[in-house]
Structure 1
Amino acid sequence: MSATEPGRLMLAEMTEQPAVLRRLLQDGAPRIAEVARDIAARRPRFVQLTGRGTSDNAALYAKYLLEIERGLPCGLTSMSTTTAYGAKPDLRDVLVIAVSQSGGSPDLVASTTAAREAGAITLAVTNNPDSPLVAASEYAIDVLAGPEKALPATKTYTAELLALHLFVTALGGDDGTLAAARLPELAERVLARQDEVRSLAARYRFAERMVLTSRGYGYPTAREAALKLMETSYVPALAYSGADLLHGPLAMVDNIFPVIAVVPDGRAGEALRPVLERLTDRGADLMVVGPRKALTGASAGFALPTDDLAEELQPILEIMPLQLLAYEVTRARGQDPDAPRALAKVTETH
């Protein structure tokens, strides 16, 4: 690919993901474990997670991890309660985790500062160790993704997921690197199938709208994939939990309405089965991303190598073909994935 070809930055950063995952497992894990031990010793009773955009989807993934693996109740922060309304909640013994690629968004920094002043244990998970967010936080985890120049975040998202997994595992006193050791090699196998994704992208070149759905650990993947499609190709893409999809939005699905289902290999995939049956009954143009067995009956699919990979780690692989899909759909529509209109790398919300 030439230095001026559209999408070269996004593609290059997607292909860096196996190396980023390796670096985080080898170099980042010891520091993450140290931070987790310190925080575990303080016995937080509740967790609040804060993020915007892609990092908000990573925070949602952490919510599932913390509630399922650690039994800690969690909530997603409404930053405006402190930044716009000046609320002063009692956050003693509460762990506040702020997730941000840049660590520079003013509302994220202000919300974290307010949380620390309110007695919270504050942790920044970011790709910029010199950021204002890190300065505002008591603890910090560097996701070690390296500079990210493309506007659509790709490698920082999967790095955030792995860093959060390692942190939550270490919070319980375990070593998360063992279960995640195969991820870099599996990521290489997925990303090597770009031609396969390009063929799938042809289905959506002229799509006017799309729905993405999943459940459990796969739901943050559906949300992140919808965001990538919207910010690169400008296709309106709605993400729903499979359960929420059945509570009304299913009515808009018909035989010309593309639906992408992220089907985890595990309990969430089983919970999603009735949703897939309803979508098939309605004649939806259904693409499935998941284990090969889940592709039966779908209009199209991408089989993931998730055999023997824990369900909670599968989102790190699930998003990769969907990142490639957003890239390929955007290129097919004659647009540049590196330069989405009206976007900046650091979004300065207040």
Structure 2
Amino acid sequence: MKADIAEQPEVFARLLDERAAQIAEVAARIVEWKPRSVVFTARGTSDHAALYAAYLTEIRLGLPVGLASPSAVTVYGARPDLRDTLVVGVSQSGGSPDLHEVLRVAREQGAHTLAVTNNAESPLARAAELHIDVAAGHEVAVAATKTYTAELLALLMLVESVRGGGTLPAGELAALRELPGHAASVLADDTVVDLAARYRFADRLVTTGRGYAYPTARETALKLMETCYLAGLAFSGADLLHGPLAMADPDVPVLAVVGSGPAGQSMRDVVARLGERRADTVVFGPAAVEGASGWVRTPDVDERYAPLLDILPLQRLALSLALLRGEDPDAPRGLKKVTSTL
């Protein structure tokens, strides 16, 4: 897991250098199709990448987005009318039967289909009309790290290429080329290694964020659950105030992802409310926030780019905490690298 995490700057650079043209070609096809809506289907970590893409698609392209429930198709036999819809399957391995069954049925029901995977020979890639290879390379640890951020970057490049009419704008590409350097600087900061001791004996932990940061909160909770075996509870900042705030107290640590965009500004009120509850809140973002008891600095970048960087110290936190608790983060108990569900 440590080695996989460390490779992410290189993965970003490779994806930008070697996949930009292919992603633009896929985007051009999507522009030709003129979908009226988009449906994403994914599981686990990839579901959080799909959630990020859902925010991007609605905000940047103005298209309504849904997140599919694969069991509607595979368990209940639903056959929804998907004409004028783009269905996108997102999966590191591309191996789960339910996802490629959703894409197969979607094509039968009139949808156009796209797979985003780290395996061009996978069943999901073969089931789709189009495929994007995120080019992350072999991932050794069970817990996904570099494949997750590669999915984020590939989906970001895709959406911005569609918005550009089938071409990633030169200014956008130039800004994205700064990401490998930002990622390297984030990974060189050992603040989270020391922070891990703070949570060594925690039984549960809350993660929260809004907008583009919400998928980061959900992915962080998953990483803590699968590597450290603690209960990670993820909420959007808005949902946290609608009930779960009542459980906040000094014994329930909170990790808040607070960026510099509109959603980050709204999160400041959430952190303040947590401070009133005397919750032990550590903020991950470009600026300190009043009401928090700790801060891990991340680069001040465009809000769309922040999820690719904010997750990096949180991955390292999960790794460090697992080791402190005497666990093996490379081989979480009961888990396999490829999970097959129907």
Q: TM-score range by the shorter chain?
A: over 0.9
Q: Give the 5 Å matches for 1:34-45.
A: 34-45=25-36
Structure-2 separation of matches of 1:179 and 1:305: 13
Indicate yes or no: 2:205 matched with 1:210.
Answer: yes
2:295 to 301, 308, 322: 301
| CA-to-aligned-CA distance 1:34-87 (integer Å, 9 cap, x gap) | 100111111000000010000000000000000000001000001111111111
Whether the 8 Å contact between 1:264 and 1:311 is mirrored in structure 2 is yes
SS of residue paired to 1:312: coil
**Structure 2 match to 1:323:** 315
| CA-to-aligned-CA distance 1:94-114 (integer Å, 9 cap, x gap) | 000100000000101111111
**Structure 1 match to 2:116:** 125
2:188 to 187, 192, 200: 192
Specify every segment of 5 or more residues in structure 2 that has no aligned partner in the other structure, as ranges.
none
Indicate yes or no: 2:81 matched with 1:87.
Answer: no
Structure-2 separation of matches of 1:152 and 1:253: 28
Relative to 1, partners in 2 of residues 1:297 and 1:250: Cα closer, same or farther, differing over 3 Å?
closer
**Structure 1 match to 2:242:** 247
Query: Which of structure 1's runs of 4+ aligned residues deviate more than 4 A?
Result: none
**Structure 2 match to 1:142:** 133
Residue identity matched to 1:349: T
Whether the 8 Å contact between 2:114 and 2:131 is mirrored in structure 1 is yes
**Normalization by structure 2: what TM-score?**
0.97
Whether the 8 Å contact between 1:179 and 1:310 is mirrored in structure 2 is no
Residue identity matched to 1:96: V
SS of residue paired to 1:292: coil
Structure-2 separation of matches of 1:123 and 1:318: 27
Q: Give the 5 Å matches for 1:145-294.
A: 145-173=136-164, 174-175=168-169, 176-193=172-189, 195-294=190-289
SS of residue paired to 2:305: helix
Structure-2 separation of matches of 1:32 and 1:290: 29
**Structure 1 match to 2:327:** 335
Structure-1 separation of matches of 2:203 and 2:91: 31
Deviation at 1:301, TM superposition (A): 1.6
Whether the 8 Å contact between 2:288 and 2:295 is mirrored in structure 1 is no
Deviation at 1:209, TM superposition (A): 0.5
**Structure 2 match to 1:108:** 99
Deviation at 1:154, TM superposition (A): 0.2
**Normalization by structure 1: what TM-score?**
0.95
Deviation at 1:178, TM superposition (A): 2.4
SS of residue paired to 2:46: helix
Whether the 8 Å contact between 1:40 and 1:171 is mirrored in structure 2 is yes
SS of residue paired to 1:347: coil
| CA-to-aligned-CA distance 1:259-296 (integer Å, 9 cap, x gap) | 000001111111111111100000000110001243x4
Identity across aligned pairs (percent)?
58
Structure-1 separation of matches of 2:182 and 2:30: 31
Indicate yes or no: 2:46 matched with 1:55.
Answer: yes
Whether the 8 Å contact between 2:250 and 2:279 is mirrored in structure 1 is yes
Indicate yes or no: 2:2 matched with 1:11.
Answer: yes
Structure-1 separation of matches of 2:288 and 2:331: 37
Indicate yes or no: 2:25 matched with 1:29.
Answer: no
Instruction: Supply the RMSD in Å over aligned alpha carbons.
Output: 0.8
| CA-to-aligned-CA distance 1:287-344 (integer Å, 9 cap, x gap) | 10001243x44212211122xx210110000100000000000000011100100001
